[in-house]
Amino acid sequence: MLCLEELLTLELFQALPRNRLDWICDRAQTIDLKTDEVLIHEGDPPRGFFILLCGHIGMTRRSDGLEMPIGQHEAPGFFGEIPVLTGEPAPVTVRAITECHLYELSSEDFLTLLHECRTFEQMVFQIVAKRSRGLESFIRNREKMAALGTLAAGLAHELNNPAAALVRALRDVTPALLELQRMNMVAGRHQIDEAHTQEWFKARDEGYEAIIHKRVDPMTLSDREDQMLNWLEDYGVEDAWKLAAPLAEGGIKIATLEELTTQWRDDLTEMRDMGVRWLALSFEVMSMIASGLRGAERIAALVQSMKSYSHLDQGARQVVDVHEGLEDTLRLFSYKLKHGVEIRRSYDAAIPKIWAYGSELNQVWTNLIDNAIDAMEDKGVLEIVTIHHSDRIEVQIIDSGSGIPPEIQSRIFEPFFTTKPVGKGSGLGLEVVRRIVEIRHQGTITLASKPGKTQLTVCLPILQHGL
C-alpha cells in the first residue's frame, strides 16, 4: 500500500491536505514492472495516473516502423496525466528501463483530486504544458526529418535515370569518337572527290537534325528499322543489326543510301561499307550526346527545383511565385505520382507573386500533396486549382480519395490528431500547415470532403513587399 511519506517525496502532492493524501494512499493500486516490460502501448485508451517511486521508465513513439525514444521518467515522478485529461489514446509507449515500483490512480480518482484542489490543478497543468511542448517539439523535428527523407528519396530516385544516361553517354562516346577518327583517316587516304564527300556530309547533317529534334515518328521507327536491316543485309554489311537502329533514327532514306554507295559496290576494301558505318556511328554519337545532354538538363532542373523549393539563396521572406512552388513540389514528388496519379492543373495566369516565407509555404504544399497521394492510395486524380481574388490568392488541393468522415473533419487541424495507423502519422502535419498559413501568413485554410472528393483550400493575402 502507498504510504504518506512516499507521496510527499513528490512536490506535486505537497500541496494537498492530509485527508486527500490518505485518500490517495487508500485508492492507489500497486504495480511492479520487470526490466523492458511495457506498461502502456502507443494508441491504448486512457488508463490512469501513475506515481513512480522506484526505477526508471522510458517513453518511445513509433515513426516509420521504428521505436524512437522521446523521454524518460526517473523515480520519484509521475506520468499518465495527458491521456486522462484529453481523453485521447496514449501518445507514447511506456516501458520499464529498469525494474520499477509504481502506483496507479484511476482516471476518475485523478480527475476528482484535480477538481478539488486548485493548487494541485495548477501544478498539474503547468507540467502538462511543459511535457506537451517537449513532445510536440520532438515530433515536429521528426516530421521535418521524415519530410526531408521523403524528398531526398524522391530526388535520388529521380536523379538516378538521368545520371545513368549521362554516365552511359560519356562511357560509350569515347570509343565511338576514336573509331570515327580512324574512318576519317582511312577515307582521307583514298582521296574521295569533294562533291561525293559533301553528299555524305549532307546526309549526316540532315540525320543530326532529325535526331536532335526527334523528327522520326516513334510509331514508325520500328518499321523503318526492319526496312533498313533488310537493305543492309542485302548490301552485305556485317552485323547489320547494329547499324539499322541509328540509321533509322537519323531518318535516312534507302534511296539516299543507294545513291551514296553506288560507286563503292564493287570495292573490295573496307571502303565498300565504311561510309554506311561512318554514317550510322555518327548518328549513334549524336544520339548519345543528346541523351547525355537531356540527362544533364534533367539533373540541373531537379537541383534547381530543390534549390527553389528550399529558397537556399534567399532570405526567410521573399517575393514568391506560388505556381513555381507548386511545380517544384510536384517535381520532387514525381516518383510517387508517375505510377497511378493523374495531375490536373487549373492555374489562374493572373495570380501575382506574393510576399511570403517561401520554404515554409512549400512545406504546406508538400504536406497537402503528400496527404492527397496517401488518401488516394497512390492511384487517382490530383487536381490543383489557383484563383486570383482582388486581395488574396486561393490554392485548392483536391484528391479523388475516399474522403474524411464528417464526424472528424472538425478535428483534422488539432495537434496530435491523425487518422493514420500508429506509427504512420504524427498528427502534426496539418497542424503545421495551419500554423504556417494562419499565423505566419495571416491566411486561412478550410476543408470540404465527401467520398471521391476532398478539397483543402488555402487563401493567402496579397501583401506589399516589406509589410
Give the pLDDT confidence score for residue 225 in this predicted structure. 85
Cell of 221: 521507327
Give the pLDDT confidence score for residue 26 in this predicted structure. 86
Give the pLDDT confidence score for residue 381 in this predicted structure. 93
pLDDT band for 426, please (50, 70, 90 cuts).
very low
Indicate if the pLDDT at residue 425 is higher than 70: no
pLDDT band for 427, please (50, 70, 90 cuts).
very low
Question: By mean pLDDT, which of 132-146, 258-272, 281-295, 438-452 is the weakest?
Answer: 132-146
pLDDT tens by residue, 39-49: 999 888 888 89
According to the 3-state scheme, what is the secondary structure of 116-179? HCHHHHHHHHHHHHHHHHHHHHHHHHHHHHHHHHHHHHHHHHHHHHHHHHHHHHHHHHHHHHHH
Cell of 104: 496507479
What is the average per-residue pLDDT within 136-162?
A: 64
State the pTM of this model: 0.46
pLDDT tens by residue, 316-359: 678 889 998 898 888 777 777 767 888 999 999 999 999 888 87
- How confident is the prediction for the chain on average, in pLDDT? 82
Cell of 319: 517575393
pLDDT tens by residue, 281-325: 999 888 888 877 877 776 776 676 566 555 544 456 788 899 988
Give the pLDDT confidence score for residue 63 in this predicted structure. 67
Residues in Cβ contact with 227 at an 8 Å cutoff, skipping those fewer than 6 apart: 248, 254
pLDDT tens by residue, 374-408: 889 878 999 999 999 988 999 999 999 989 888 88
Give the pLDDT confidence score for residue 264 in this predicted structure. 86
Residues in Cβ contact with 448 at an 8 Å cutoff, skipping those fewer than 6 apart: 454, 455, 457
Q: Long-range contacts of range 449-452, CB-CB < 8 Å, 24 or more positions apart?
A: 449/403, 449/404, 449/406, 449/409, 450/403, 451/402, 451/403, 452/400, 452/401, 452/402, 452/403
* Higher local confidence (pLDDT), 10 or 160: 10
Residues above pLDDT 90, as percent of the chain: 17
385 neighbors 396 (Cβ within 8 angstroms): yes
